[in-house]
Amino acid sequence: MVKVLFVCLGNICRSPLAEAIFNHKINQSNLIHKFSSDSCGTSDYHIGELPDERTLNCAAKYGIPIQHRARQINRVDLRDFDYLIAMDNSNKKNISTLLQNHNINHDRIFLIREFQPETDSLEVPDPYYGGSECFEEVYGILNDAIEHFLEHLRKHEGTYV
């Protein structure tokens, strides 16, 4: 089982949506025996909370089941997960600092948008202070980026389904 962890700042907007989209796609592709995912935040701001209402509305609109409680990344995550997938450069930097602090080598830390073949930006914009159109934008980015990420996983993790 290849384990993927999606990471953002608060774990109530971007990363729980990424996790939900990823899980929905692997369900549809009969890949649940190959891949699993979870999400977390680098901050402790929203621990225990449900995803932001705007995230829930967006997921519902696209028929994506979403079930998550916000949690903060911890030392066990750094060892447990095969892929650490950040939403923006700041998340990625925070993960790298944690790895350094705990003396852990990890060779699969990516920005989710690194998997998109054509993109102007490598970051998923933080929608927290934006309107519902920002959540729509995030959904569109994640849906495309995760499709490409799954292609990468199929290729590199020996699953040619």
Q: How far is the CB of 116 from ligand 4NP (least distance, A)?
A: 18
> Is the distance from CB of 58 to CB of 17 less than 8 angstroms?
yes
Per CB under 6 A, the list member of 8, 31, 56, 58 interacting with ligand 4NP is: 8
Q: Residue 6's closest CA among 60, 63, 55?
A: 55
Q: Is 8 a catalytic residue?
A: yes
Q: How far apart are CA 63 and CA 138, in angstroms?
A: 16
User: Could you say whether residue 18 binds ligand 4NP (CB under 6 A)?
Assistant: no
- Asked about 134 being catalytic, the answer comes back as no
Residue 38 binds to ligand 4NP (criterion: CB under 6 A):
no
Q: CB–CB of 132/10 below 8 Å?
A: no
Site residue total, ligand 4NP (CB under 6 A): 11
The interface with ligand 4NP within residues 113-152 (CB under 6 A) comprises 126, 128
Q: How far is the CB of 110 from ligand 4NP (least distance, A)?
A: 17
Looking at beta carbons only, is 26 or 126 nearer to ligand 4NP?
Answer: 126
Residue 82: active-site member: no
Q: Any contact of residue 77 with ligand 4NP (CB under 6 A)?
A: no
Q: For residues 118 and 141, what is the distance between their CA atoms, to the nearest angstrom?
A: 11
Diameter of the chain measured on Cα atoms: 42
Could you tell me the CA-to-CA distances from 57 to 27, 52, 79, 116 in Å, in that order? Answer: 21, 9, 33, 25
Nearer to ligand 4NP, 19 or 126 (CB): 126
Q: Does 66 bind ligand 4NP (CB under 6 A)?
A: no
Nearest alpha carbon to residue 134 among 55, 60, 40, 51: 55
- Provide the binding-site residues for ligand 4NP, judged by CB under 6 A: 8-14, 41, 45, 126, 128
